[in-house]
Chains A and B, each alone.
Chain A
Amino acid sequence: MIRRRGRWWGAAAVLLVLAAAGCSNRVDIGAAGPAATPAAKTGGRLTVAVVTHGAAGDPFWSIVKNGAVQAGKDLKVRVTYQGSGVPQTQAQFIDAAVNQHVDGLVVSMANPDALKASVERAVHAGIPVITINSGGDKSVQFGAITHVGQDETIAGRAAGKRLADAGVKHAICVVHEAGNIGLTQRCQGAAQGLGGRLDTVQVNVNNLAQAQATLRAKLTADHSIGAVLTLNPAIATAAVAAESGSGSSAKIATFDLSGDVTTAIEQGRIQFAVDQQPYLQGYLPVQMLRLYHDNDNTVGGGQPVLTGPGFVTKANAAKVAELAKRGTR
Chain B
Amino acid sequence: MSAPAVPDERVAAVSPVRRLLVRPELGALIGAVVVFVFFALLSSTFRSADGVANWLDPASTLGIMAVAVALLMIGGEFDLSAGVLTGTTGLAVTILATRFGLNVWLAVLLSLVLALAVGLANGYVVTRTKLPSFIVTLGMFLVLQGLNLGVTKLLTGNVLVGGLVGRSGFDSAHLVFASSVVLGGTYFKVSIVWWLVLTVLATLVLLRTRFGNWVFAVGGDANAARKVGVPATRTSMALFATTATAAWLVGTITALRNTSAQADAGVGDELTFIVAAVIGGCLLTGGFGSAVGASLGALIFGMTSVGIVYAGWDADWYKLFLGAMLLLAVFANQFVRRYAERRRRS
The answer for the CA separation of A56 and B309 in the assembled complex, in Å, is: 14
For chain B residues 149-193, which have a beta carbon within 8 Å of chain A?
A: 153, 156-160, 162-165
Determine whether A166 belongs to the interface, using a CB cutoff of 8 Å to chain B. no
CB-CB < 8 A to A23: which residues of B? 41-42
Scoring B315, B319, B339 by chain A CB atoms within 10 A of each residue's CB, the highest score goes to B315
Determine whether B199 belongs to the interface, using a CB cutoff of 8 Å to chain A. no
For chain B residues 32-72, which have a beta carbon within 8 Å of chain A?
A: 34, 37-38, 41-45, 48, 50-51, 54, 57-58, 61
Q: Can you list, as one digit per residue, whether each of A39-56 has a CB less than 8 Å from chain B (1) or not (0)?
A: 000000000000000001
- Stretch of A95-103, A247-255, A300-308, A309-317 that contacts chain B: A95-103
Set A5, A82, A178: member contacting B157, Cβ < 8 A: A178
A99→B50 contact, CB < 8 A? yes
Interface size class of B (residues with CB under 8 A): 35 or more
For chain A residues 250-296, which have a beta carbon within 8 Å of chain B?
A: none
For chain A residues 81-133, which have a beta carbon within 8 Å of chain B?
A: 81-83, 85-89, 91-93, 95-97, 99-100, 110-111, 113-114, 116
B339→A1 contact, CB < 8 A? yes
B43→A111 contact, CB < 8 A? no
B45→A100 contact, CB < 8 A? yes
B153→A82 contact, CB < 8 A? no
A88→B309 contact, CB < 8 A? no
B61→A113 contact, CB < 8 A? no
The answer for the CA separation of A178 and B149 in the assembled complex, in Å, is: 11
Determine whether B306 belongs to the interface, using a CB cutoff of 8 Å to chain A. yes
B54→A92 contact, CB < 8 A? yes
Determine whether A217 belongs to the interface, using a CB cutoff of 8 Å to chain B. no
**A80-B312, A87-B262, A113-B258 known; A95-B159 Cβ under 8 A:** no
The answer for the CA separation of A24 and B259 in the assembled complex, in Å, is: 42
- The smallest beta-carbon distance between B94 and chain A, in angstroms, is 10
A19→B309 contact, CB < 8 A? no
- The smallest beta-carbon distance between B323 and chain A, in angstroms, is 14
- The smallest beta-carbon distance between B300 and chain A, in angstroms, is 15
A88→B315 contact, CB < 8 A? no
CB-CB < 8 A to B30: which residues of A? 12
Determine whether B345 belongs to the interface, using a CB cutoff of 8 Å to chain A. no
Determine whether B89 belongs to the interface, using a CB cutoff of 8 Å to chain A. no
CB-CB < 8 A to B235: which residues of A? none
Set B44, B258, B339: member contacting A28, Cβ < 8 A: B44
> 7 A-B pairs, CB-CB below 8 angstroms?
A5-B339, A19-B38, A20-B41, A28-B43, A28-B45, A80-B309, A89-B58
4 residue pairs, one from A and one from B, having the closest CB atoms: A114-B258, A179-B158, A30-B45, A96-B309
Other than the known A86-B265, A113-B162, what 20 A-B pairs have Cβ atoms closer than 8 Å? A1-B339, A1-B342, A23-B41, A29-B312, A30-B44, A56-B316, A87-B260, A88-B258, A89-B305, A91-B258, A92-B305, A96-B310, A100-B310, A113-B258, A113-B259, A113-B260, A114-B257, A114-B260, A177-B159, A178-B157
